[in-house]
Structure 1
Amino acid sequence: MTKNVRVRFAPSPTGPLHIGGVRTALFNYLFAKKHNGTFVLRIEDTDQNRYVEGAEQYIIDALNWCGIPYDEGLGKNETYGPYRQSERKPLYKKYAEQLIASGNAYYAFDTAEDLDFHRKNHENQGKTFIYNWHNRLKLSNSLSLSAEETQAKLDAGEDYVIRFKSPHDETLHLTDIIRGDMKIDTNVLDDKVLFKSDGMPTYHLANIVDDHLMKISHVIRGEEWLPSLALHYQLYTAFGWEAPEFAHLPLILKPTGKGKLSKRDGDKMGFPVFPLQWTDPKTNDTSRGYKEDGYFAEAMINFLAFLGWNPGTEQEIFTIEELVNAFDLERVNKSGARFDPDKIKWFNHHYMQDQYDEDLAELFKPIVDKNLSVIQSDSEKSHSNATSLTAQNDIDVNYIALVVGLIKERATFVSDFWDLSHFFFTAPTAYDEKASKKAFKDDTADLMSQLKSIILPIDEFTVTALEKDIKGWITKNDIAFGKIMMPLRLALVGALQGPDVFEIMYMIGKAETVKRIENIIKTL
């Protein structure tokens, strides 16, 4: 690609960044990096009534957590700033008036009541009211009024908007990288408002002006903006500017495949739709985030990359660098991409296995401390003999890392670890009833006593030594392996589950192993 690639992600600070917005940011980021370009963050806050405190910082934090930080924007390499549209307000009035001067836009003085009257009048006739070539000369605007009348209204301070003058009887030829060539009949287009009565531009004007002044080469945005493409092309033509290339990404669909994914879908089906947790400053309601739910950013990004794009190969697991190298807008699909909550869990499970045990141990330690604290408190209240291997808050993180290494293969989230490993930290206080009936027979107590006498003399308490001596004893005495291994596992874990029995014994140590065997003999 010969042109200097500059793309932008331009969200509105009206709340938390939806997962669809993250996907849009990701595709912009990948395209920019693929072509050694620049990824720009611009905040489109022209609608001040919908502005939400904290949303802007949330957007920045979300991009950083996802590992797709912007190159240029708020507080960073501000070459074409400012990057908040509210701070660029004087620019837009000038360009709106430039369009009026060139005959491509006009002042419209219609009140809200006037427009509502026309809409209802059309509805009563079974028609749709469209403000454009077929009726604009009948309405209150600078096209239907004389220059003197128009100026008088302006001098009197009457409220007005500035509308684009959409052409009559023309055919627009538009091109989209993803969707190809399109034809639009201008007769069906309305005269969109470019500048509002509150002195702020609409998205359409501000978007075009900023993209031009910031030298944006490619506009990669969601499918919901496709109906605006005709107007945007016309605005570039009206200004005499070269238009960027456009690519409209497919919608992210509900898990059912029908309709656009919404927050309500996540609430209903039990998954987040935001990258980070969000607390609404007005209602104080909190929405879940992928980070707080235990997802790895790499897993979420890998998953999102496949929502509407495919590399053309069987490969599914990509590092961000591999995504950059493989990404191609022409391999983005036109049709919507179904959001699959189970698939992102699959990605998270994979990325779990790639994490260092030591890093996961640091995340797991607070969970261990909390659970041991509860067990200790309950034990004190009930005067129970329940024991844990270590005092609460004195747990060795290196020990936790060893535990993590044994159980993470069966986990999807760090929050799964406790259920998979609690027996490494505290002795079972009860035994699974179904497992007990299966594992404990009439001669089991005697066999467990014999096993204890085999374990006690073992000096080198290692996995290898334990396996050698115990299996040797079982074989020598012609005992069925299940008659020993099942009740032994039950004694150690409290259920017939968990990693290798000899690994558990080695981790908890000889004294604790013997104690748990003695306890199950006494209990069952």
Structure 2
Amino acid sequence: MSVRVRFAPSPTGFLHIGGLRTALYNYLFAKHHGGECILRIEDTDQTRYVETAEKAIIDMCRWAGFNFDEGPEQGGKYGPYRQSERTELYQTHASILIENGAAYYAFDSADELEKMRERQQKAGLAPKYDRSIMRNQTTLGEEETSRLLAEGEPSAIRLKVPHSGEIRFSDIVRGEVVFAARDIDDQVLLKSDGYPTYHLANVVDDHLMEITHVIRGEEWLPSTPKHCLLYEAFGWEKPKFAHLPLLLNPDKSKMSKRHGDVFVEDFKNKGFFAEALVNFIALCGWNPSSDREIFSMNDLIEHFALEKVNKAGAIFDYKKLEWMNNQYFRSYDPAVLAPELLEVLKNYVYPTVSADYAAQVIKLLRERISFVADIPTFGDYMFVRPVSFDEEYKSKHWKPETHANIAPLVGIFESLSDFSNQSLHDTVHAYTTEKQIALKFIIHPLRLMITGKQVGAGMFETMEVLGKKEVLARMKVFLENNQ
């Protein structure tokens, strides 16, 4: 049987960065094995449903560079791919479990359940449904159960978990996993409103959609024994499981909105390149067994292996992500990024520049920053003349003799027919040699006059991009105001 995996998010809001990694690992695994990766929308919890979330999830996955083989948009022979459109299937399968004794009807009210939990809490017990004392098919008997159902009494269907024994399953990431049956709750499978819980819908869909590998976050590990019991009750073969490690903050706490960006859209809006983000999260938990860190999507597909995914939580190193973004920034054709910079510049009161000039600025500054969006602030002097100057830098590098050292360069620069980086380099070096002036006593004042800042790209490269006319204009104004 060919590999079939699924990414099955709940449409409750924006796509979490951990969700994107889960989607990515499913996609990489499927493509590595020549299989299929499908999208299934798990929207059975109507209380948390967000109408725009499904599209946002699909858009972010598409932005990240992968499309699904089947899903709500593409369709497919295993559809529908929204669980809210499959409720009859779940109800039918819940009835099968009732018939074979693997599940039972429960008629408890919310108040009765709350009182049960309070009693357990007072007794120091973990909260768990006690089918021996609650109002259910087991305690009421078949006749009373039938009467209540006939009268329309609200009821849920619960999984009948054995009181003893062990539930074992093999996990590709974690090896052999064992749970004691006594620790597992009689999970609600079908709610009184006719909607399934995650557990029933998940198992039914994975089987009917012929999913071969279930790759998901480790938060679902405690649910897996319940799923194993369901597969056994239906007489179905289990898929292979792989539970991925959590993404953690540098302090090893779980990633959450309190600690910064956690949604894919946050990273996109900050200017991270999709390829960089995908490359980075692929390495959050997966070890390719090499020192290499830059992988294209095709490289990831070629090398990815679930067996090399770590058990321990993966640290999400934001600085490492920025470094990786810069690596991609440096590798891109500046002309391709120019439209993005032109769009960003619309948010600033700067003179209009050409796409060619924007590309030159990108090429000039990209080794010193990680985002296109940072260019208008880091390199504001590339678009407008500086109106303020770094005072600390000025006091250090503009001395009483500096004016006399710099002023002759105006005439020298005016005479140049070649205002390229190399020409400027040779001209200034020749001038400092002739005048017996250390190069730093020229370079720093030039940077101050032309950019107003002490940090920036190479001085001669900056001057070349700004152009002869603009450089001379800035020099003359500064010299006039700083005699």
- TM-score normalised by the shorter chain: which range applies? over 0.9
Counterpart in the other structure of 2:185: 190
CA distance in 2, matches of 1:146, 1:503: 87
- The one-letter code matched in structure 1 to 2:383 is F
Counterpart in the other structure of 2:420: 462
Greater CA deviation, 107-116 or 24-33? 107-116
8 Å CA contact 1:34, 1:327 repeated in 2:
yes
Counterpart in the other structure of 1:371: 348
SS at match of 2:379: helix
**Structure 1 residue 339 corresponds to structure 2 residue 316:** yes
Counterpart in the other structure of 2:60: 62
CA distance in 2, matches of 1:262, 1:436: 43
Counterpart in the other structure of 1:329: 306
Counterpart in the other structure of 1:181: 176
- The one-letter code matched in structure 2 to 1:226 is L
SS at match of 1:175: strand
Counterpart in the other structure of 1:286: none
CA distance in 2, matches of 1:308, 1:52: 30
CA distance in 2, matches of 1:469, 1:118: 87
Q: Per-residue CA shift, 1:426-455, capped at 9, x if unaligned?
A: 222233222222222333222323222222
**Structure 1 residue 431 corresponds to structure 2 residue 425:** no
**Structure 1 residue 500 corresponds to structure 2 residue 458:** yes
CA distance in 2, matches of 1:497, 1:185: 62
**Structure 1 residue 274 corresponds to structure 2 residue 263:** yes
Provide structure 1 residue ranges, at least 5 long, that are not aligned to the other structure: 267-271, 277-288, 374-391
Q: Per-residue CA shift, 1:107-133, capped at 9, x if unaligned?
A: 11122222222222333333345325x
Give how far 1:167 is off: 1.8
Counterpart in the other structure of 1:300: 277
Give how far 1:144 is off: 2.4
CA distance in 1, matches of 2:481, 2:133: 93
Q: Per-residue CA shift, 1:459-486, capped at 9, x if unaligned?
A: 3333333333332233223233233332
Q: How much identity, in percent, do the aligned residues show?
A: 46
Give how far 1:369 is off: 4.7
Counterpart in the other structure of 1:354: 331
CA distance in 1, matches of 2:464, 2:122: 83
Given candidates 33, 36, 54, the residue that maps to 2:31 is 33
Counterpart in the other structure of 1:205: 200
- The one-letter code matched in structure 2 to 1:232 is H
Greater CA deviation, 166-175 or 3-12? 166-175
Give how far 1:250 is off: 1.0
Counterpart in the other structure of 1:235: 230
- The one-letter code matched in structure 1 to 2:309 is V
SS at match of 1:314: coil
Give how far 1:343 is off: 1.5
CA distance in 2, matches of 1:367, 1:523: 33
Counterpart in the other structure of 1:319: 296
Structure 1 pair 241–434 and aligned structure 2 pair: CA distance change class (3 A): same
**Structure 1 residue 521 corresponds to structure 2 residue 479:** yes
- The one-letter code matched in structure 1 to 2:186 is D
Give how far 1:219 is off: 0.3
CA distance in 1, matches of 2:133, 2:349: 78
Greater CA deviation, 310-319 or 119-128? 119-128
Q: Kindly report which structure 2 residues correspond to 1:140-289, keeping only aligned pairs within 5 A, or say none.
A: 140-258=135-253, 260-266=254-260, 272-276=261-265, 289=266
Structure 1 pair 236–491 and aligned structure 2 pair: CA distance change class (3 A): same
8 Å CA contact 2:362, 2:372 repeated in 1:
no
- The one-letter code matched in structure 2 to 1:416 is D
CA distance in 2, matches of 1:10, 1:69: 14
**Structure 1 residue 447 corresponds to structure 2 residue 447:** no
SS at match of 2:68: coil
Structure 1 pair 168–414 and aligned structure 2 pair: CA distance change class (3 A): same
Give how far 1:367 is off: 3.6
Q: Report the TM-score when normalising by structure 2.
A: 0.95
Give how far 1:323 is off: 1.0
8 Å CA contact 2:102, 2:233 repeated in 1:
yes
Counterpart in the other structure of 1:112: 110
CA distance in 2, matches of 1:52, 1:369: 32
Greater CA deviation, 462-471 or 108-117? 462-471
RMSD: 1.8
SS at match of 1:198: coil
Greater CA deviation, 337-346 or 461-470? 461-470
**Structure 1 residue 400 corresponds to structure 2 residue 358:** yes
Provide structure 2 residue ranges, at least 5 long, that are not aligned to the other structure: none
**Matched residue pairs, number?**
482
Structure 1 pair 469–335 and aligned structure 2 pair: CA distance change class (3 A): closer
Counterpart in the other structure of 1:125: 123
CA distance in 1, matches of 2:196, 2:177: 28
Q: Per-residue CA shift, 1:149-201, capped at 9, x if unaligned?
A: 22111110001111111123322222111111123322222211111101111
8 Å CA contact 1:168, 1:186 repeated in 2:
yes
- The one-letter code matched in structure 2 to 1:262 is S
8 Å CA contact 1:99, 1:238 repeated in 2:
yes
CA distance in 2, matches of 1:336, 1:165: 33
